[in-house]
Amino acid sequence: MAYAVTQSCCNDATCVSVCPVNCIHPTPEERAAGAAGGYASSEMVFIDPVGCIDCGACVDACPVGAITPVDLLRGPDTVFADLNRDYYAAHPESATWDALTFPTTVPQGSGDLHVAIVGTGPSAAYAARALLTGTPATLTMIDRLPVAGGLLRSGVAPDHPDTKRIEDTFAWTYAHPRVTVALNVDVGRDVTHEELLEHHHAVVYAVGASADRRLGIPGEDLAGSVPASELVAWYNAQPDRVATEIDLSVERVVVVGNGNVALDVARVLLTDPDELSRTDIADDALAALRRSRVREVVVLGRRGPADAAFTMSELVGMRTIDGVDLVVEEHPDAAAAVDAAPVGSKAAMLRDVERVSIDWDAPPAPGKRVVLAFWTAPVAVEGADRVEAVRVTGGRTIAAGALVRSIGYRGSPLPGLPFDPGTATVPNAQGRVLDADGEPLPGAYVVGWIKRGATGGIGANRACAQETVAAIVDDVSAGRLAEPTGSPRALRELLRRRNDDVVGLRWMRSIDRAERLGGAAHGRPRRKFATVPELLAAGSPGRWRSRRR
């Protein structure tokens, strides 16, 4: 029986490299070929049911458990058998083999290589893995929080435990004998970029993009209007954000934007709290959701179904929430686009979704539902002191008590580095930071969203990190990196003098153990501590005395 890739695919293409018969596509090389080949925007990988020889190598390699025998798919998951098959019907050229590529490494005799990585999210972890497996580098991994994980911890929705499993594949990184962990360290406050370079040959910034894009419409800042990032931080117990609790005493919430984060928000707001109580959702958020009166979430998309920002796998998940209906607002253009969509496309997956006409002045229909409204953009948020309605294109007004702005993230300037406000990224070429004259800034590199903008999911960071690491290797080989005047050990002494609460590996593990034990007592994977002081108190007391503290 053939295998199929299912909903939790992280798209990092680890499975591609282990397939002995080249039946998993699109490969990273195909994606790099660009949109002309139809691969650049691919949301997941697919297994060719004809070419698959059932060896199971991909199952063992998949970091998120997304690959399942077709014969074992049940219920709504059976659609993934069709999606995998349909991909190859649309892309018969995928049977070709990519050209052989080989990893590069620094030449023997190049001496020590010390690299600092700022951030511990997926892009940082992929960069660390590439450096540890392809070079003799020693690493210092730094994060402003006392816990590692970045968006894996604070961005992935709590009801996506399979996606979070990729954390397990990164766990060995922190315990590697060539890695030093330095958490609860703020670059810019506790240590400068220049000081990091004094103790390392290179510094890689993997800090993501945490700022929000603005709508730029009247009433955007009324009470009851919140950015999705704050809501996600609230239900994920992100410790460095002030908890912004959305008003759940209302019956209808409007979400602007229809990407995966927008669907995450809709799903969390409407899912039975008893189901969420088995996840690592924040305790405060779970308690608030138990009191919630929200029955309808309206998801606005300014373009049509074919251009929806959510992935096909997220759409499948949205259709399978117990007690929650998914409907499409009646719109002549939306109906025509769905009916004409080719088999296997995102729009075609909406063909059997009910289309409804809605009186937006009336209360929501009985029960719970998510409404997908295409070709609908907000014009203004209306209300005296707080959100009461959202005026949208077409002259309509949607009565709603809350608004969630989910139109994307932006990077923020980093102390000591150039910044392009237009792209909200650090200017770079293949990961090398560029100065105002467009020349590489020696020893400075970026990876992830701060490098390429807030696009692409977890798996996209693997190829992104490999490109940046290749640039580091090339610069080391060409002798372009200055020899540091200090050492990683001297950096630890410096941090110890400036910050009494630098969290090392042992302390980090103590925090993790405390959260897992707290969760186990309630049948949950973990109960997260919601503030930095709580996290620090949960770990081993004392100071950071060594790498293995």
Answer yes or no: do 242 and 388 share one domain.
Answer: yes
User: Which CA distances in Å does 243 have to 32, 152, 172, 235?
Assistant: 40, 19, 32, 9
- CATH number for 53: 3.30.70.20
Position 124 in a domain: yes
> Any idea what DSSP says for residue 187?
B
Residue 101 lies in a domain: no
Q: What is the distance, to the nearest Å, from the Cα of residue 159 to the centroid of all Cα atoms in its chain? A: 14
| 534 lies in some domain | no
Are 177 and 262 members of one domain? no
pTM: 0.91
Q: Are residues 161 and 309 in the same domain?
A: no
Residues 261 and 206 in one domain: no
Q: How many residues does the chain have?
A: 549
Q: CATH number for the domain including 453? A: 3.40.50.720
Residue 374 lies in a domain: yes
Looking at the domain assignment, is residue 337 inside a domain?
A: yes
* CATH code of the domain containing 241: 3.50.50.60
Domain boundary at 392, 407, 422, which? 407
Whether residues 146 and 77 fall in one domain: no
Distance of alpha carbon 107 from the chain centroid: 35
Single out the residue of 210, 208, 196, 133 nearest to residue 170, CA to CA. 133
Query: DSSP secondary structure string, 97-113?
Result: PPPP-----PPTT----
Is there a single domain that holds both residue 254 and residue 352? yes
Cα distance between residue 494 and residue 404, in whole Å:
43
Is residue 533 situated within a structural domain?
no
Omega cis (within 30) before 26: yes
Question: What is residue 241's predicted lDDT score, i.e. its pLDDT?
Answer: 75
Query: Does one domain contain both 204 and 237?
Result: no
Same domain, 225 and 290: yes
Determine contact, residues 539/511, Cβ cutoff 8 Å.
yes
H-assigned helices in 135-240 = 151-154, 161-164, 166-175, 193-199, 228-235
Output the pLDDT for position 40: 46
pLDDT score recorded for residue 95:
62
Same domain for 81 and 181, yes or no, is: no
C-alpha distance from residue 191 to each of 83, 361, 485 (Å): 49, 55, 16
- Distances in Å between the alpha carbon of 98 and those of 16, 17, 25? 11, 11, 11
Q: In what order do the strands lie in the sheet with 252-256?
A: 225-227, 402-405, 252-256, 296-300, 368-373, 324-329, 354-356
Confidence at residue 166, expressed as pLDDT on a 0 to 100 scale: 86
Strands 428-429 and 432-434: antiparallel
Instruction: Give the end of a domain, one of 391, 407, 423.
Output: 407
On whether both 398 and 416 belong to a single domain, the answer is no
- Both 312 and 436 in one domain: the answer is no
222 plus 333 within the same structural domain: yes
Q: What is the pLDDT of residue 167?
A: 83
Is 107 within a domain?
Answer: no
Coarse DSSP helix, strand, coil percentages of the chain, rounded to the nearest 5 percent: 35, 20, 50
The parent domain of residue 12 ranges over: 3-95
- Tell me how far apart the alpha carbons of residues 168 and 60 are, in angstroms, rounded to a whole number: 13
pLDDT at 17: 84
Beta bridge partners of 35: none
User: How far is Cα 407 from Cα 409, in angstroms, rounded to an integer?
Assistant: 7
3-state SS record for 297-358: EEEECCCCHHHCCCCHHHHHHHCCCCCEEEEEECCHHHHHHHHHCCCCCCHHHHCCCEEECC
Q: How many domains does the chain have?
A: 3
Question: What tokens were used for 78?
Answer: 């059976």
Domain membership flag for residue 163: yes
Provide the residue-wise pLDDT of the chain in tens; the chain has 549 residues: 699 999 888 888 889 889 999 899 988 777 665 543 444 457 889 999 998 989 999 999 988 888 999 999 988 888 899 889 888 888 877 666 666 666 677 777 667 899 999 999 999 999 999 999 999 999 999 999 999 999 889 889 999 988 888 888 888 899 999 999 999 999 999 999 999 999 999 999 999 998 889 999 999 999 999 999 999 999 999 998 766 667 899 999 999 999 999 999 999 999 999 999 999 999 999 999 999 999 999 999 999 999 999 988 899 888 889 999 999 999 888 889 999 988 778 888 899 899 999 999 999 999 999 999 999 999 999 999 999 999 999 889 999 999 999 999 999 999 999 999 999 999 999 999 999 999 999 999 999 999 999 888 888 899 899 999 999 999 999 999 999 999 888 999 999 999 989 999 999 999 999 999 999 999 999 999 999 999 999 876 544 443 333
Domain final residue, candidates 407, 441, 461: 407
